[in-house]
Structure 1
Amino acid sequence: MMKRVLLISVLIAGSFLAGFAFKTVINNKGDIKMKKVTGIGGIFFKCKDPKAVNEWYKTHLGFDTTPYGTSFEWRQADDSTKKGLTQWNTFPENTKYFDPSSKDFMINYRVENLEILVEELKKENVTIVDKIETYDYGKFVHILDPEGNKIELWEPKD
């Protein structure tokens, strides 16, 4: 009798754990496609004299600018122990970094799961400008919107 109760208990517990594991696998697959963009990672724009514009923002708006612009640090909404950065930067008006776009600005969006997102965008016939590049601070790729604006997608290592 005791063996039977033990066997039934093990089967119930095993069924529960198998169901939980199955549910977790399904949720994890769903999580991969949850959010595409999680925030703005940076705002970049062309100007005639980046050094002077940086100095103007430093003097008049208190930006802590360097030759690379400035970073705004913030806390992530879903986990306030994690920090995030949004980069602001000026570029010379003749920069090629925004090419093939002819616009004077480029927005960088923070994303999750960049490789998966790029595969989805390819299936949706979105123009992917280059290949994913990896640096110490994250992964990057560039795409074009329907009006030819170059967009930088960034999966940060926060």
Structure 2
Amino acid sequence: MKRTLLIVSVIATSFLSGFTLKTIISTQNKSAMKKVTGIGGIFFKCKDPKKMTEWYQKHLGLDTNPYGATFEWYEGEDHSKKAQTQWSPFAETTKYFEPSAKDFMINYRVADLEALVEELKKEGVTIVDKIETYDYGKFVHILDAEGNKIELWEPKD
């Protein structure tokens, strides 16, 4: 009888310990927000965007369109979830990269833009504008530690 009670106690204690550990781990994982999930686009200034687009098409085989080129790929392990990265040359006179003085801007894909912006505000990150929503997703611009403008995009895949 004592032996049966001991075995039942050991099993119950093991079960409760495992349940407690699983609860702690899953709580920690929920608090770690997924931020950047990939690169959504690379944008750069040049003297003649049309000529630059044609050059990349002719010499490097980019499948270009009026906005540059779109690279399609599959997200993670789910090969049914198509994603894309945009490559776009801009006129060297564009104001789109301001307030950054740099000749480039990177667009990062993110999982939950609104929650991320709230977290970035708490961390003192400069938010350049308000979140804007389009048919293809939500966007906002921030500045990194050196004043480079970054575009954050939550795609509507």
* TM-score normalised per structure 2: 0.81
In structure 2, C-alpha distance between the alignment counterparts of 1:74 and 1:82, rounded to whole Å: 9
- Residue of structure 2 in register with 1:115 after alignment: 114
Percent identity, aligned pairs only, is 74
SS at match of 2:80: strand
How far off is 1:29 after superposition? 9.0
Asked if 1:50 corresponds to 2:49, the answer is yes
Q: Deviations over 1:95-131 (max 9, x none)?
A: 0000000000000000011000000000000000000
Task: Sort the Cα spacing of 1:84 and 1:31 in 2 relative to 1 into closer, same or farther, 3 A.
Answer: farther
How far off is 1:67 after superposition? 1.8
Asked if 1:36 corresponds to 2:35, the answer is yes
| Contact kept? 1:76, 1:83, Cα under 8 Å | yes
Amino acid across the alignment from 1:90? P
Task: Sort the Cα spacing of 1:96 and 1:111 in 2 relative to 1 into closer, same or farther, 3 A.
Answer: same
Name structure 2 gaps, 5 residues minimum: 1-18
RMSD, aligned CA: 1.9
In structure 1, C-alpha distance between the alignment counterparts of 2:70 and 2:140, rounded to whole Å: 20
SS at match of 1:41: strand
SS at match of 2:120: helix
Name structure 1 gaps, 5 residues minimum: 1-19
In structure 1, C-alpha distance between the alignment counterparts of 2:142 and 2:53, rounded to whole Å: 27
In structure 2, C-alpha distance between the alignment counterparts of 1:31 and 1:72, rounded to whole Å: 31
SS at match of 1:56: helix
Task: Sort the Cα spacing of 1:52 and 1:32 in 2 relative to 1 into closer, same or farther, 3 A.
Answer: farther
Task: Sort the Cα spacing of 1:141 and 1:32 in 2 relative to 1 into closer, same or farther, 3 A.
Answer: farther
Q: Deviations over 1:11-57 (max 9, x none)?
A: xxxxxxxxx9xx89x95894474320000000000000000100000
SS at match of 1:127: coil
Q: Name the count of aligned residue pairs.
A: 136
